[in-house]
Structure 1
């Protein structure tokens, strides 16, 4: 140090230094430097303690860097699996939000999607894979890809979920997956929905009346290979808003899930719906999910705006 930085002793005011190389598996990962205000001798016992300390610091530093690498990899995987942008669909205004759980690696299995089916139809999907880790994110990518691969202009929601379910049953996943699939037909002005154990969407009519859509749920995906998913049909009304969400938005410790859904519907009915992006911010803030989250959250808003 004196050779490279001859002014260092005078500037720092230190009179002794200990240089501890940080070595992990024979490779250097850094160097720890201790300085002293007064001249200091290093007896053998103190040198032994410092050598042990350097080994512990080196291992901690190496683990921290490995965690950062895994974290960046996981976040990159999450971002790659979720849609970067949603397609423009004539007659439909859209807003979406995904927020990972703040515990763990900031990734999870919640997902949403909007699929354009020509000029006359579209499909909206939301799902939730159990867990907040790389395995959940990977399975989420498989589910989203499977749903997309089976979505066509002619495919009804129950068939899309049934075929996706059979595929996941062959995989034998260890994680549970819920999913809600909706097909919007702008020619017939109807929307058909099917659910695999997912919370019901909320419907807000132009007058402000808001309620959950009654969608009889089938089983979660990947459990029963020949499961049947009942279909519900509702009319597409100009100005109506549909809110698709995952349970991370509504669940509260000790609270009944139906009461949580009712509270969200009540707030949606009162909220300003002129701008969907502001509306989605309002719903997230009201749910209290902007800070620490035990679960990840996905939220997809659709508003029918015929030209």
Structure 2
């Protein structure tokens, strides 16, 4: 039983460690993804700036002058300007996504990992306390069982001695029947003394047997009560305490992780929607 309880503690710690590792991996992913988005944003910005600086060569063209007078005019130059504007917008969106990933999301995952560590430690301490209480009850049961077995053996031995004394008394009583009147007169006092001693021995062993039997009965009742207490404690531990501890370890974990992942998907969706609209 101790091995099973220690395995439960080990599994609880292992579950917490796996969750912390998962959260750390997710936080690292968010930071690396943020670096990629930031690098992509800077690349787009440089690209847009490079080609925007070349627009001077087109400034004197008739088409460029028409575009300045009528910006909504559909022309290759207008499409070129829209493309550069869209590139800058993509750069800004990637920079914003990078900021969200490296900032709030990565930090939130780190905080959840810390919360998981604290929660697992508290749950482990509580489970250790519950296990100690359970083992204490089991130890009391073992003590009660040993006491009952000892008293039961004493009662059996006392009963055996009583039965032996009763058989000896019956033999003496049978031999005490006089064959003749003369014999009865000569041996009468001796037989009476022997019978009295035998009777006192039976009474003494009868009292001893009743004493041991009473102790045995009391020890048996205490053992049965202790057994019922252990059964109730084990049932309560496995059906309630363990389940409550599992729920305690899960408290807020899935909700918090789900919120982070939804925030990540929302940030991705905003970036994609902006790119489509652009």
Fold-level match, TM-score > 0.5?
A: no
Instruction: Give the TM-score, by structure 2 length.
Output: 0.25
Q: Considering fraction of residues, name the structure with more strand.
A: 1
More helix, by proportion: 2
Structure with the bigger RCO (C-alpha within 8 Å, sep 6+) is 2
> For the pair shown, which has the larger CA radius of gyration, 1 or 2?
2
TM-score normalised over the length of structure 1 = 0.23
